[in-house]
């Protein structure tokens, strides 16, 4: 995670240089100048992504997975058979994900509960970032230059937060579950601060400097939360099933990104203070997972469930393997008897 954040900060600084050269960060920049500047940054980001992907691919070792669970049709197969085969290939990932979700629900209750919790607070964190930018632009009228500073502060302090939370965990020997609870509780202060806008005291993201405070606070929590969420989830994954369960984890992460923006958009349409009411939703989205994780998720129990499930699956495979070996032995013995009978008859 640390290297990822470092790469993000570097890419943002390069993009900032592009915007500066194009004149898009000037206070009196015309809309078409700003638009062209952002187009160039998209080009630079796409090029960065392409070069990085090709470089990684060149140094990655091939890791072939298991064969497909269904046979590829022959050359003389009908169009219907070919269509059925390729439709099964196209939907194999979704079917596998649904099967893994069913496994979690049926055999791994702690894993399933944690996935629900993660679905909620990952949506909350992605919504905080989008709502924060929207609020800064529409309510506080931040320009492109200020928004760029905000964009740099988040990954920069996520990098620092990742290291600081780790030092805290090591210094006090804190468990992964407790670290996630602690970071979630700290992140709840962000929407709680936003609710101060209803008190009339002049705080609650009413001033521009508060946006920078939001960026720093959000970044510090984001770095640690992403790292410890994955580490905690790894304890709930059955050994030998890491790929399929982390695929489900990523689907849970990205699959919730539509929920928060939809609710915030509905609130914004229904009231002139809709963006401020969004802080209520964000506060609930951080406090509820914190409470459930603290009182109802047992890290030791979840690890034991995962190990027991893995042992059970391994035993099933051994039984099937022994059965297959027995069938092969009987087949070879029978085949040998036939040969002897034929020989004696001749």
Q: How far apart are CA 249 and CA 101, in angstroms?
A: 10
Q: How far apart are CA 295 and CA 291, in angstroms?
A: 6
Within its chain, how far is the Cα of 91 from the centroid?
21
Q: Sign of dihedral through CA atoms 175, 216, 286, 254?
A: negative
Angle at 36 between CA 30 and CA 39, to 5 degrees: 145
Q: Provide the whole-model pTM.
A: 0.82
pLDDT in tens, 120-172: 999 999 888 877 777 787 777 787 778 888 889 999 999 999 999 999 999 99
Tally: H helices and E strands in the chain: 12, 0
Q: How far apart are CA 70 and CA 123, in angstroms?
A: 36
Write out the two tokens for 245: 């369960």
Q: Sign of dihedral through CA atoms 336, 342, 345, 346?
A: negative
pLDDT in tens, 212-268: 998 999 999 999 999 999 999 999 999 989 988 999 999 888 777 788 888 888 887
Q: How far apart are CA 52 and CA 47, in angstroms?
A: 8
């Amino acid at each position: 995670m640390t290297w990822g954040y470092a790469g993000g900060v570097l890419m943002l600084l390069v993009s900032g240089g592009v915007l500066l050269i194009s004149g898009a960060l000037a206070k009196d920049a015309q809309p078409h100048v700003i638009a062209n500047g952002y187009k160039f940054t998209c080009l630079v980001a796409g090029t960065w992504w392409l070069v990085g992907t090709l470089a990684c691919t060149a140094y990655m070792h091939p890791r072939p997975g298991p064969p497909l669970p269904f046979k590829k049709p022959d050359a003389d197969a009908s169009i219907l058979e070919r269509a059925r085969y390729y439709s099964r290939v196209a939907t194999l990932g979704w079917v596998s994900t649904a099967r893994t979700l069913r496994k979690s629900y049926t055999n791994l209750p702690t894993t399933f509960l944690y996935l629900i919790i993660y679905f909620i607070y990952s949506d909350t964190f992605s919504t905080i970032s989008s709502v924060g930018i929207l609020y800064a632009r529409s309510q506080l009228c931040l320009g492109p230059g200020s928004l760029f500073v905000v964009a740099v502060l988040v990954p920069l302090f996520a990098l620092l937060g990742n290291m600081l939370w780790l030092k805290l965990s090591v210094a006090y020997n804190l468990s992964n579950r407790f670290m996630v609870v602690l970071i979630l509780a700290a992140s709840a202060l962000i929407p709680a601060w936003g609710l101060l806008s209803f008190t009339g005291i002049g705080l609650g993201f009413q001033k521009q400097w508060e946006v920078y405070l939001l960026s720093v606070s959000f970044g510090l929590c984001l770095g640690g939360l992403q790292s410890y969420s994955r580490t905690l989830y790894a304890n709930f994954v059955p050994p030998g099933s890491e790929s399929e369960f982390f695929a489900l984890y990523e689907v849970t992460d990205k699959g919730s990104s539509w929920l928060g923006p939809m609710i915030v958009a509905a609130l914004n349409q229904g009231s002139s203070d809709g963006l401020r009411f969004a802080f209520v939703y964000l506060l609930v989205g951080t406090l509820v997972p914190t409470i459930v994780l603290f009182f109802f998720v047992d890290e030791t129990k979840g690890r034991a469930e995962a190990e027991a499930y893995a042992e059970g699956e391994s035993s099933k495979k051994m039984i099937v393997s022994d059965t297959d070996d027995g069938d092969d032995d009987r087949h070879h013995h029978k085949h040998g008897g036939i040969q002897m009978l034929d020989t004696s008859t001749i």
